[in-house]
Amino acid sequence: MVPLCHPLRLLLVALAGWINQQQRDVIAYLQEENRVLREQLGPRRLRFTDDQRIRLAAKARVLGRRVLEELRSIVTRTPCSPGIGR
C-alpha cells in the first residue's frame, strides 16, 4: 500500500475530525430536544404502537445496554420486552 503524503493525510484527519464534531453536535441537539419534550410531557406515560416499539428496539440493540443506561431516554425497558444488548 502506498503511504499517503503528509498534506493529504492532514486533510483526511481534519475532515474526519470535522465530521465527528458535526455528529456530536447533532447528538447533543437531539438529546436537548428530548429533554424539552420530556419536560412538556410531564409524568404522563407514552403509548407506542407495535411498529414504533420494533423500530426503537432495533436501534437500542445496536447501541447496547450500557449506552442506553447512560442516556436518559423517554423510553423505558419493560419486563416483558426482549433483552437489549445481548
Domain ranges, ordered by start, for the chain: 1-44, 46-78
Residue that has been written with the C-alpha cell 445481548 in this structure: 86
Calculate mean pLDDT across residues 14-20. Answer: 90
Whole-Å CA distances, 38 to 12, 15, 46, 47, 63: 39, 35, 10, 14, 21
Asked whether the predicted pLDDT for residue 84 surpasses 60, the reply is: no
CA separation for the pair 14, 10 (Å, rounded) = 6
Confirm if 57 and 82 have CB atoms less than 8 A apart: yes
Asked whether the predicted pLDDT for residue 68 surpasses 70, the reply is: yes
pLDDT value of residue 86: 44
> Would the pTM of this model clear 0.75, i.e. be above it?
no
